[in-house]
């Protein structure tokens, strides 16, 4: 089989995947209302281990990918926790573990945090990715691949209708 038929850098790849964490399905593109995902390989748009696993695959290939935290969302970063006083929390937010909050950092960028613990008059917020520190298991299938257009490579992402940009 010619190398160009296998997934390589600067290919647009379409996959189905099912992500399992701790023996529970966390996410999937398969199902009645789900759609496959499409992305540009080599742009760092996927977690590193998943992108690495796609290299060399061809359309129709299926693969199980087992990723430790170092190739996924990293280890839990203790510096990504913050303690705030209950009275400083928005009143509309239920003070329960697992509740997600959308906040802004000092630069005005939106960040997502979760309530990790409520104790006394303090609330511990966790700004780690929800899958930080977790081992991930993916079942992936390559549905399609094509070389990216020069414009897609320059822009670093897939265009909806690449023929219209050539």
CA distance 69 to 87: 35
Which pLDDT value is given to residue 141? Answer: 97
Write out pLDDT tens, residues 39-83.
Answer: 999 998 899 999 999 999 999 999 999 999 999 999 999 999 999
Domain of residue 89: give its range.
78-126
Q: Are residues 9 and 63 in the same domain?
A: yes
Q: Are residues 44 and 112 in the same domain?
A: no
- Whether 152 has a pLDDT exceeding 80, the answer reads yes
CA distance 135 to 81: 21
Q: Are residues 91 and 31 in the same domain?
A: no
Q: Are residues 53 and 83 in the same domain?
A: no
Which pLDDT value is given to residue 163? Answer: 55
Can you read off the two tokens belonging to residue 148?
A: 């990216």
Looking at the structure of the chain, the number of domains it has is: 2
Residue 44: C-alpha distances to residues 10, 49, 65, 115 (Å): 11, 10, 17, 29
| Percentage of the chain modeled with pLDDT above 70 | 94
Q: Are residues 47 and 83 in the same domain?
A: no
pTM of the model: 0.81
Write out pLDDT tens, residues 27-41.
Answer: 999 887 789 999 999
Q: What is the mean pLDDT of the chain?
A: 91
Q: Is residue 52 part of a domain?
A: yes
Q: Is residue 143 part of a domain?
A: yes
Q: Is residue 114 part of a domain?
A: yes
């Amino acid at each position: 089989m010619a190398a160009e038929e296998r997934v390589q850098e600067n290919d647009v790849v379409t996959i189905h995947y099912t992500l399992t964490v701790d023996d529970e399905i966390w996410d999937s593109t398969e199902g009645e209302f789900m759609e496959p995902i499409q992305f540009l390989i080599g742009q760092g748009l996927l977690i590193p281990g998943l992108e690495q696993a796609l290299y060399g695959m061809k359309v129709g290939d299926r693969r199980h990918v087992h990723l430790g935290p170092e190739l996924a969302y990293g280890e839990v970063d203790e510096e990504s926790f913050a303690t705030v006083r209950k009275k400083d929390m928005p009143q509309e937010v239920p003070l329960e573990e697992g509740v997600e909050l959308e906040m802004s950092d000092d630069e005005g960028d939106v960040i997502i945090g979760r309530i990790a613990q409520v104790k006394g008059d303090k609330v511990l917020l966790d700004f780690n990715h929800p899958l930080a520190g977790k081992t991930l298991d993916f079942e992936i299938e390559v549905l399609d691949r094509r070389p990216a257009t020069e414009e897609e490579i320059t822009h670093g992402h897939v265009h909806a209708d690449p023929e219209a940009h050539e």
